Chain A
Amino acid sequence: MNQEHVLDQLPAYALDALNPEERQGVEEHVRACPTCQAELTAYLDALAALAQAVPAVEPPARLRQAVMEQVRPSRPSWPVALLSSARLAWSLAAVLLLVSLALGGALLLQSLQPEPATFRSVTLLGDAAAPDARGLMIISPDGSTGTLVVDDLPPLPEDRQYQLWLIQPDGERASGGVFSVDAGGYGALVIEAPRPLAEYPRFGITVEPAGGSPGPTGPRVMAGEL
């Protein structure tokens, strides 16, 4: 990237209307250029004013409740965030199916009983590379096995796959398996862990060469904590 300012391109960049190559060039320059950063901020402020000028419509009252339910301190049950929209409800069905395949119908039935429901779940959130991605990991009651379901992860070229990393308290990373996602960004993985899953406090997902790597090499796209 040359050192010239990218002032002419900043309006289109603020609007996210550049093509990918142009965007990358502007991004690189702006990151290192306080002048262009300040200019960009001014354009973004102008767009915020535009956002405020749209006709104001009162949202339904239930929306506030739905928003707040998403962030209530973690519940023992399924994360509300994944249940909150009909669009994602089928993800839950897929989770249940996979869990039942992985762990056996008896365990599933047991998990649906009110009292001994001891499956644990870990929500994985997308990083900057995949801000919309969501993931849910279900860990069996004894902590030994689990299943991962993700949605809205960008599909990868054929020579790349996503790889789940199980992160020990000392930072050591073990592979939990590799997976791909369909065109809609949906994918699932029955986790293969060298040790009981419950012993890993943190989890991450990176982009790796197809088949996986011995250790993470590509960019991290999602992360979560037990």
Chain B
Amino acid sequence: MDDETLIRRIARSEPEALAELYDRYGRLVYSLALAITNDAGLSEEVSQDVFLQVWRKAGSYRPEAGRVLTWLSRIARNRAIDMLRRQNVRPEGSWISLDGLESLTAERAGLEPFVLDSSSREQVRQALAALPPEQRTALALAYFRGLSQQEIAALLHQPLGTIKTRVRLALHKLRAFLAEEHSEDRR
């Protein structure tokens, strides 16, 4: 059963469909929350909230606005950032490195990537590795810390215009790289 069908079934309040969605993406949601909050308890809370939100809002999911995975990871990321702000947590330690998402390129022993097959995951890593460090940092601060461009500019003591350019280029390149890899796959 594809993801969209699952979401339609969830919209009809079928708990089994939510269980299936959890089995597919529970680890992704939890791992993303953990990457953002660096707190296992908060990440559990975020994950519960995310799937509850999916349960309630499945009816508002529109396939034309993006894949289920895109929708779900966006909810998860936003919820984790909310939690981060509310707790006023400054994630430390194993939290995603601001210096350029290096930890994304370091595989943790014994853990399989969940949804992406290893080649797709490798593509994302390559795409990130190909970004200039200052663009990676801007992207990481925006995505994993939920900072606005203004906040990033203040934090890094850079002009706002510079940060805007970095954010734009970083995501644009990531997107272009992934699109290119996909089209190569099809050849």
Contact pattern, A 43-56, Cβ under 8 Å of B = 1, otherwise 0? 11111111111111
The answer to the question of B156 belonging to the interface, with a C-beta cut-off of 8 Å to chain A, is no
B73 touches A48 (CB 8 A): yes
A84 vs B46: C-alpha distance in the bound complex, in angstroms? 12
For chain B, residues 20 to 61, give those with C-beta under 8 angstroms from any C-beta of chain A. Answer: 22-23, 26-28, 30-32, 34-35, 40, 43-45, 47-49, 51-53, 55-57
A131 near B: Cβ within 8 Å?
A: yes
In the assembled complex, A132 has its CB within 8 A of some CB on chain B:
yes
Contact A47 B143 (CB under 8 A): yes
How many residues of A sit at the interface, in one of the four size bands?
35 or more
Contact with A along B63-93 (1 / 0, CB 8 A): 0111101100110111101100000000000
Cβ contacts under 8 Å, B22 to chain A? 64, 67-68
**A58 interface contact, C-beta 8 A:** yes
1/0 per residue, CB under 8 A from A, across B150-187: the answer is 10100000000000100110111011001100000000
A15 in complex: contacting residue of B47, B142, B178, CB < 8 Å: B142
Using a CB-CB cutoff of 8 Å, which residues 132-151 of chain A contact chain B?
132
Would A51 and B77 be within 8 Å (CB), given that A8-B168, A17-B149, A71-B18 are in contact? yes
State the main secondary structure of chain B at its contact with A.
helix
Alpha-carbon distance between A71 and B9 when the two chains are bound, in angstroms: 14
Say whether A56 contacts B148, CB under 8 Å.
no
Contacts of B168 in A (CB 8 A): 8, 11-12
Residues of B in contact with A (beta carbons under 8 Å apart): 13, 15, 18-19, 22-23, 26-28, 30-32, 34-35, 40, 43-45, 47-49, 51-53, 55-57, 64-67, 69-70, 73-74, 76-79, 81-82, 96, 103-104, 106-108, 111-116, 120-121, 123-125, 128, 139, 142-143, 146-150, 152, 164, 167-168, 170-172, 174-175, 178-179
- Beyond A47-B73, A50-B139, 11 additional contacts (C-beta under 8 Å) are A11-B168, A47-B70, A49-B120, A54-B31, A56-B111, A57-B30, A68-B18, A68-B19, A70-B55, A71-B55, A131-B53
